[in-house]
Amino acid sequence: MGIDPKAIDWDSLGFNLTETRSMYKAVCKREGSWSTGGLIPFGNIELSPAAGVLNYGQGVFEGMKAYRTIKNRIVIFRPDMNAKRISMSSQRLCMPAMDKDLFLRAVLATVKDNLDYIPPNGKGSLYLRPVVWGTAPVLGVKPVDEYTFIVYASPVGPYFKGDIKPLNLLVTNDYHRAAPKGIGNVKAIGNYSASLLPLIKAKNEGYDEVIYLNAGDEELIEEAGAANMFIIKDNVLKTPKLAGSILPGVTRDSVLTLAREILEIDVQETDVTLNEVCTADEVFCTGTAVVVTPVGKIASDNKEYIINGEKIGKITNELRSLLIGIQREEREDTFNWLQSVD
């Protein structure tokens, strides 16, 4: 049912679930189209133990944010991109494509009904979590006959404690996140279950996150467990190209645009070797949850590489400020990225 929003301490928000008033729910029969759906109180849902999502991982999700801006408006950042990606993810797992209008209507309705859970400007955002799950029962391995779409929300603060304190990342040689032609390029729930063990092991050794290498020859970096990676060397911005095993991040796309169009620096979507990362001038990760977070130290093969004296780099800082500036409406929304909730 949601906690009383007046009881929330906006200054101590981290990236944890705070239950809000309501969530949006719609269903789709395999052969049919999505129901209109509507808002219901946030709460448990009932599922068969044989549900497709519980047994064979037929589930995808999205992550997006609504902000209270400096103009005291409520905006959502690039929801059309998430609508497109959830459709792509769904189709990869033999689930019905999401109807774009339904997706946007559900997200807007969820935000509008939970306005009092949106943190004050500069103190965080309302994280939105759209999910699609195969909810009908099944025994043999096959797509199920009914799917459920839910959008729930939670006020959040920074993903990593300390917000822009440069991260300490561990390159793993023990695990791959994804393989070419697998499901690494979609937001399938199974990708995240596979990332838990490497993440927990890294955290136990004092690292914040894991950097995954390509499953082929382990020479190239792919991405972190929940974020895309960027490096800067001699004023050139590089990020791994979208070759099928990394997630096409909305923040990645936004940072590439800002670098090209506003900073006017050389931008390359290409192969990025592990050696290039360890010797880069600046390294940072991007994502809805992590925004733009600098990397200060990378451990690989029992060696540690310090990046930019463990301080946030100049270009990283510029890109972070540009992105946050647009999201908070402190800067003009030149690229029409904000969807107003009024």
* Residues within the interface to ligand PLP (CB under 6 A): 63, 223, 226-228, 247, 249-252, 286-288
Q: Which of 27, 55, 30 is nearest to 137 (CA)?
A: 55
Q: Which residues contact 114 (CB under 8 A, 6 or more apart)?
A: 2, 20, 21, 22, 126, 153
Query: Residue 176 touches which of ligand PLP, ligand COI, none (CB < 5 to 8 A by kind)?
Result: none
Q: Measure the CA–CA gap between 81 and 89, rounded to whole angstroms.
A: 12
Q: How far is the CB of 288 from ligand COI (least distance, A)?
A: 4
Q: Measure the CA–CA gap between 165 and 168, rounded to whole angstroms.
A: 9
Dihedral class, residue 318 (left if φ above 0, else alpha if ψ from -120 to 50, else beta): alpha
Closer to ligand COI by CB, 196 or 306: give it. Answer: 196
Place of tokens 């999201």: 327
Q: Which of 65, 84, 123, 187 is catalytic?
A: 187
Q: How far is the CB of 156 from ligand COI (least distance, A)?
A: 9
- Cβ-closest residue to ligand COI? 63
Is 314 a residue of the active site? no
Closer to ligand COI by CB, 63 or 248: give it. Answer: 63
Q: Measure the CA–CA gap between 225 and 51, rounded to whole angstroms.
A: 27
Closer to ligand PLP by CB, 135 or 228: give it. Answer: 228
Q: Which residues contact 44 (CB under 8 A, 6 or more apart)?
A: none
Q: How far is the CB of 292 from ligand PLP (least distance, A)?
A: 10
Closer to ligand COI by CB, 136 or 188: give it. Answer: 188
Q: Are 155 and 127 in contact (CB under 8 A)?
A: yes
Q: Which of 127, 131, 122 is nearest to 156 (CA)?
A: 127
**Residues that bind ligand COI in the complex, under the rule CB under 6 A:** 63, 192, 226, 287-289
Q: How far is the CB of 249 from ligand COI (least distance, A)?
A: 8
Residues known to be catalytic: 187
